[in-house]
A = this chain, B = another copy of it.
């Protein structure tokens, strides 16, 4: 999926919503537990209920790996289901991978070829050869961690080197590796003003913004500081949508929460 495909979808749906599929078997409705693959059954219902409001789905690998090979099977089925039924939707594997070149090349094949995701989140600590192997695939994307939404983002990402924070060093260095047609950045919704500074540094890049909802980020502030001429934002909500109810109405309630966010997004676009 290329940049124009993403922009077209944003325009058609008047949305820049990503639904995070952080599916936890302890939080899904009881009646699904008798299904053969409760995680996939839950995801399928959530996907069908929210696809018209969302431009992206983001399964987080941790929530599948916790069930081992069975969890990976649920993950494969989930991505296959999205790709078959909603081929226009952008699929982000939230995996935070990154290793020496030879290893990252295997991760790239794992996520882009075996799993058929469109994008993967990548951690920058190991530098150029940990990121480059992900860049050699047509219409596939690296989403590089820049400034994350969590408390620990303060430990290293704000360290000052070369008269700028580490996360700005990461963004500037990464410009040597890829442009806005191949790379996006993770910028937490919990840092709206820094989002504005990052937008100035990277006027054309898409930013994946987690942290709206359960983590306390505010959509209006994100839009104010982050929008560009193409929208340039993909805002993720996970828990606020997928666990809106843990009863039989869970999919309907998820759709309502997704629609609420989509309406707010339409009003700022």
Contacts and interface: CB of A to CB of B under 8 A. Distances in A.
Contact of A65 (B73, B106, B127, B161): B106
Nearest to A123: B123
Residue in A70, A98, A102, A109 with the greatest tally of chain B CB atoms within 10 Å: A102
A124 interface: yes
A68 B76 contact: yes
Interface stretch (A4-12, A42-50, A145-153, A191-199): A145-153
Given A60-B103, A96-B98, A156-B166, A148 B161 contact: no
A154 B102 CA distance: 17
B110 A129 contact: no
Given A152-B129, A166-B159, A169-B156, A106 B68 contact: no
A165 B127 CA distance: 15
A123 B110 contact: no
A173 B157 CA distance: 13
A110 B66 contact: yes
A170 interface: yes
Contact of A99 (B96, B109, B129): B96
Given A96-B97, A150-B127, A159-B161, A109 B72 contact: no
